Structure 1
Amino acid sequence: MDDKQLAAAENLSADVFHQILDLAITGKGALPGAHATAKAQLGRHGDAEAAIRAIVNQHLALAGGQGFATNWGGFLMSLVTIPANIGAHAFVQARMVSAIAHLRGYELEDPRVRTALLMCMLGPSAGAALVSKGVLPSSPLVVATAPVFDSHLDGAVAKVLLERAMSAISGKRLGLMLAKGVPFVGGGVGAAVDAWSTRAIARHTLDALPSRRPKA
């Protein structure tokens, strides 16, 4: 990441994750959203859980693919003004958790569900730590099914996501500096880390948001 991208990142607000989540759910142009992605996989597999497994595998491949940020990064940056690598990575995870939730019977237009999706994007360890500290009240399921929408909680979750993104930016800058003299190492490590973190978030979402659809 160059100095211009870092400066752009430093000017971000937590609302950028609401923008990314909205884009991930609805899609735009050639970039399909969670609704379209879920529908396509459900049509191929005919079963919601089988479609979810296919979606997870698809997004793990995208997370580890080095071409994703390059090919779609400019499009993401033009919409949410966020550095391409962070924007693309967040989009992949947001679309994945949204498609899982949709196939399990959660209404993606419900603001309570959207807060729960952002909580899922924090991952299992960060979410548990924030609950223990009292920053988060409970699990994503409790938030998704709460009696009312909590705007303060929603803002707090988005703020934590932004802080984690900024930490990731700093870590990637350091990693690139250390790996400069070793061809291909920087990209390979970055791809592995992104795929690993996306897998962890997928597992967390599957555990945190059980199906609400009636059993056949």
Structure 2
Amino acid sequence: MTELTVREHDESKAQAVVSNVLAVSIKGKGPFKSAQMIADEHLARHGDVEKAVQKVIATHTRLVGMSGFATGLGGLLTLPITVPTDVGVFYMQASRCAAAVAHLRGYDLDSDEVRSIVAMTTLGASGVAIAAEFGVDLGTRAAVAALKKVPGRVLIDINKKVGFRLVTKAGTTGVVNLTKLVPLVGGGVGSSVNVVGMRSIGRYATRNFPVA
């Protein structure tokens, strides 16, 4: 393939990673509950939005800390997300956690802008840096409004940048370059690192989706 064709292939792969994972984490699939369902269940159980937010984060932290946390997700493990299964599932859990926090705090999960912020949230500081490249300051309610003012192509470019943080070329398949991701983790790293990673994502979620 020519250099341009390779670049286009990589961009397509990066965008597919984000699109597929966000679709499942926000809308749910099979036994994997949607972000709204998880959020509503916690709100009904605890009766307070901020307590529900903290419990959502705690629940996802516990899930990724469990041995074999990918077990039981059935068809999710065959999704064409072009990253190793354990990392892909961690990213889905992280995205769902961030999306559930957004929903609890009144953000519209059907909004492309909100979904882009969810994706950037899972990258922690790297996500904040990506937003800054496009003149968007995450951590304020104005961030969604700012993203609404940019052309649709810009949102696509933002999602591609998120995808590129997850996927690097290794022959003909995509792998995750964990040394460049904070706080994403993957296979062979251990549940304690998964826990630290999810807690960090939870903190970014509460920051990037502030209370009105």
Tell whether the structures are fold-level matches, with TM greater than 0.5: yes
Relative to structure 1, the CA distance from residue 84 to residue 45 in structure 2 (aligned partners, 3 Å threshold; closer, same or farther) is same
The correspondence of residues 16-165 of structure 1 with structure 2, limited to 5 A, is 16-72=17-73, 75-82=75-82, 83-123=84-124, 125-130=125-130, 134-135=133-134, 137-139=136-138, 141-146=141-146, 147-148=148-149, 150-165=151-166
CA positional deviation for 1:64: 1.9
Separation in structure 1 between the aligned mates of residue 59 and residue 110 of structure 2, nearest angstrom: 24
How many pairs were matched up? 186
Q: Mark the runs of 5 or more structure 2 residues left unpaired by the alignment.
A: 1-9, 169-174, 180-186
CA positional deviation for 1:128: 3.9
The one-letter amino acid paired with 1:16 is V
Separation in structure 2 between the aligned mates of residue 148 and residue 89 of structure 1, nearest angstrom: 31
> In structure 1, the residue corresponding to 2:157 is in which secondary structure?
helix
Paired residues of 2:16 and 2:81 also in contact (CA < 8 A):
no
Separation in structure 2 between the aligned mates of residue 76 and residue 47 of structure 1, nearest angstrom: 31
Separation in structure 1 between the aligned mates of residue 27 and residue 43 of structure 2, nearest angstrom: 17
Q: Mark the runs of 5 or more structure 1 residues left unpaired by the alignment.
A: 1-9, 173-185
Partner of 1:177 in structure 2? none
How high is the TM-score relative to the length of structure 1? 0.75
Partner of 2:211 in structure 1? 211
Relative to structure 1, the CA distance from residue 36 to residue 16 in structure 2 (aligned partners, 3 Å threshold; closer, same or farther) is same
Cα RMSD, aligned residues only: 2.5
Paired residues of 1:118 and 1:157 also in contact (CA < 8 A):
no
Matched, 1:196 2:196: yes
Structure 1 residue runs of 4+, over 6 Å off?
A: none
Paired residues of 1:113 and 1:143 also in contact (CA < 8 A):
no
> In structure 1, the residue corresponding to 2:69 is in which secondary structure?
helix
Q: Which has the higher helix share?
A: 1
Instruction: Among all aligned residue pairs of Structure 1 and Structure 2, give the percentage whose two residues are the same amino acid.
Output: 30
CA positional deviation for 1:90: 0.7
Alignment partner of 1:169 out of 160, 176, 200: 176
Paired residues of 2:21 and 2:81 also in contact (CA < 8 A):
no
